[in-house]
Amino acid sequence: MANSINLKLTLDNSAHKHFRDDEFWKVIPAWKDVTREEFSDHMWQLKHSINKVDKAKAVLGDLCTEEFYQDMVDGQHKTPMNIRITPYIFALMDWNDPVNCPLRKQFLPIGSQFLEDHPYYKADSLHEDVDSPVPTLTHRYHDKVLFLPTTICPVYCSYCTRSRLIGGSTEAVEKETYGVNQAKMDAAFDYIRAHEQIEDVVISGGDAFMLTPKQITFIGENLLNIPHIRRLRFATKGVAIFPQKILSDHEWFNAFNAVHKKAREMGKQVVIHTHFSCPREITMFSKKAMERLFAEGITVRNQAVLQEGVNDNINDMVLLIKQMSYMNIQPYYVYIHDMVPGCEHFRTTIAESEALEKAVRGTTAGFNTPTFVCDAPGGGGKRHIASYEYYDRENGISVWTAPNVKPGEVFFYFDPIRKLSKEAQARWADPAQREAMIADAKKKAGF
Ligand code: SF4
């Protein structure tokens, strides 16, 4: 099997201490006169977000070729995720080489990037809907639930694992998008109240940045007042893609901080889980936003997704980890990409993820070294990347169990077929051989 990732560390030892602080947005023709003050304002960011190809074209002018604009239009026919990009992220894209830019890849789909989905992809690859006792809640782990009060985000990621729900319908995917719904929220709280083993609630979506200050207070206080709840994690990509909100939306910041302080007084935890994926997302805005959060004692952890051409090399991964550590963000997880639609071009192999984890380990302190994981398709939960029961590297089939999550069940993760040998690709093309290979891997794993 081809292992195409670069594992040779050549990073300058002090690279992580440099935070970009130039007026980078002025490269966009329509924003060449935008002042630092305007660009730092969260309302300006929201008002000028890019949510249509025409809007992108209008601000970029002749910075891109007609061929690239046409590629964007083609992307709209195929993408499961709509476009919504803050000017902050849009301006950080490499407009000299947008096709290969890691930020363009993550947030601005183009037709030429899409590959055929894997035969075993699923819209709900992690069985979040299957493991949902009441709408908006997933209860998989004994003491933890995932609560999804909203399906909107300030930026839509092309690699989103919840593309079946998030960000509104596209030509490729019909979805039911919702904002916060009081009846659903009450039902979720009733369920949590009735299950005393639950100590931990992840409030995700969608993105907690899209909850109003009132909603942050309502959700935070209601959950903290449940005696058996010990920990709340608000999941927001906002620190990475919209740091201006932390710095200038004081009403939102104060509401979140009040929930955090109330939790402290009660001996409980309220933290932020964020989502930086590559060093190009990090600037002095990120550092200042983190300084504000850190000054209040708010813990921030990061969950990145391993993506081809975005962060699947040692230099970018180590720089990402060290810059986050420098800003007091704890690098927590690096996920192998879920097997969801429209994302085949992002996926890497288990072997590549293992190799990268091995290369990263030892480059910084252990507590700042993320755990590389596979979220086992079918709802097995997060498993350490090297903890499979069996791995057929030739055919890209790994077999997993989750003894304390779903005892007795067996889960499979499949490497992208394009990364396998020609012979293995031919076997995958034949449904009968495909089934036989999977049965063989299961047997070799002892099941
Ligand atoms: S912020 Fe999270 S939920 Fe929203 S689009 Fe990105 S990955 Fe999906």
Q: How far is the CA of 207 from the centre of ligand 1 (A)?
A: 7
pLDDT digits (tens, 9 = 90+) for 92-124: 999 999 999 999 999 999 999 999 999 999 999
Count of structural domains, the chain: 1
Does some domain include residue 407? no
pLDDT of residue 411: 98
Residues whose CB is less than 8 angstroms from the CB of residue 423 and which lie 6 or more positions away in sequence, other chains included: none
Ligand 1 mutation target, pool 82, 126, 237, most atoms within 8 A of CB: 237
**Domain extent for 349:** 12-387
The three-state secondary structure class of 324 is helix
Does some domain include residue 92? yes
Does some domain include residue 425? no
CB of 240 within 6 A of ligand 1: the answer is no
Query: Which DSSP string corresponds to 95-132?
Result: TTSGGG-HHHHHHS--GGG--PPPTT--TTTT-TTTT-
Torsions phi, psi for 34 (to 5 deg): -70, 130
Does some domain include residue 17? yes
**pTM for this structure?**
0.97
pLDDT of residue 177: 72
- Atom of ligand 1 at shortest distance to CA of 241? 1
Q: Which residues of 367-396 are buried (b: 16+ CB within 10 A; e: fewer)?
A: ebbbebbbbbbbbbbbbebeebbbbbeebb
Q: Is the peptide bond before 206 cis (omega within 30 degrees of 0)?
A: yes
Does some domain include residue 339? yes
CATH number of the structural domain spanning residue 213? 3.20.20.70
Nearest CA to ligand 1 atom 1: 237
Does some domain include residue 428? no
Ligand 1 mutation target, pool 124, 162, 303, most atoms within 8 A of CB: 162
CB of 166 within 6 A of ligand 1: the answer is yes
Q: How far is the CA of 157 from the centre of ligand 1 (A)?
A: 6
C-alpha 173/C-alpha 166 separation (Å) is: 10
Ligand 1 mutation target, pool 136, 146, 153, most atoms within 8 A of CB: 153
CB of 153 within 6 A of ligand 1: the answer is yes
Residues whose CB is less than 8 angstroms from the CB of residue 33 and which lie 6 or more positions away in sequence, other chains included: none
C-alpha to C-alpha distances, 76 to 56, 115, 249, nearest whole angstrom: 13, 14, 32
CB of 164 within 6 A of ligand 1: the answer is no
- Atom of ligand 1 at shortest distance to CA of 237? 1
Does some domain include residue 58? yes
C-alpha to C-alpha distances, 165 to 162, 172, 175, 233, nearest whole angstrom: 6, 13, 6, 20
Q: How far is the CA of 10 from the centre of ligand 1 (A)?
A: 32
The closest of 104, 35, 92 to 68, measured between CA atoms, is: 104
Nearest CA to ligand 1 atom 8: 160
pLDDT of residue 3: 59
CB of 160 within 6 A of ligand 1: the answer is yes
Torsions phi, psi for 437 (to 5 deg): -65, -40
Does some domain include residue 99? yes
Q: How far is the CA of 153 from the centre of ligand 1 (A)?
A: 6
192's tokens: 């949590």
The closest of 395, 389, 396 to 446, measured between CA atoms, is: 389
Residues whose CB is less than 8 angstroms from the CB of residue 52 and which lie 6 or more positions away in sequence, other chains included: 83
Per residue of the chain (447 residues), give pLDDT as tens.
Answer: 555 789 999 999 999 999 999 999 999 999 999 999 999 999 999 999 999 999 999 999 999 999 999 999 999 999 999 999 999 999 999 999 999 999 999 999 999 999 999 999 999 999 999 999 999 999 999 999 999 999 999 999 999 999 999 999 999 999 887 678 899 999 999 999 999 999 999 999 889 999 999 999 999 999 999 999 999 999 999 999 999 999 999 999 999 999 999 999 999 999 999 999 999 999 999 999 999 999 999 999 999 999 999 999 999 999 999 999 999 999 999 999 999 999 999 999 999 999 999 999 999 999 999 999 999 999 999 999 999 999 999 999 999 999 999 999 999 999 999 999 999 999 999 999 999 999 999 999 999
| Residue 357 · residue 385 · CB < 8 Å | yes
Nearest CA to ligand 1 atom 3: 206
CB of 340 within 6 A of ligand 1: the answer is no
